[in-house]
Amino acid sequence: MERLQDKRVKRSRRISPVGLMAALGMIALGFALPAAAQGDGLDMLGGLTKGEWTVSYRDGSPDRKICVRSGRELIQLQHSTRGCSRFVVEDGASRVTVQYTCPGDGYGRTNIRRESASLVQIESQGIASGLPFQFAAEARRTGNCS
């Protein structure tokens, strides 16, 4: 009789796989909520000098001029679609990586490395309008927005 009670006690102390998954989920949620409450970060992009920037593509494609107001304009160079969702993969002092999805227009993943407040290196790839894209470029502040 004592052995049977010992087994019951031992069993009751075990955590079921479902209970373990639930506990781990709650722990993960507890760590994720403070990060989500802080916003999406990307402070490095906000520190770039505002104004007109020229994007020079390494493959020889024509240069492109864009007006940078927040730095985030450099994330979706292939997608001008609004309403895209973004997921910040890396948010460092000199490098950010953002993955984004634009419903009905594709998706992309962009890595931006800061060399100075007026010079960045960009690598991006994904699908735009049903076609794959991949590019590397240098973006440099070249003046004021017109």
Q: Distance between CA atoms of 121 and 13, rounded to whole angstroms? A: 55
CB of 139 within 8 A of CB of 74? yes
pLDDT digits (tens, 9 = 90+) for 82-140: 889 999 999 999 999 999 999 999 999 999 999 999 999 999 999 999 999 999 999 99
Look up the pTM and report it: 0.72
Nearest to 126 by CA among 106, 96, 98: 106
Amino acid at 69: R
Nearest to 47 by CA among 101, 105, 97, 95: 95
Q: Distance between CA atoms of 101 and 145, rounded to whole angstroms? A: 28
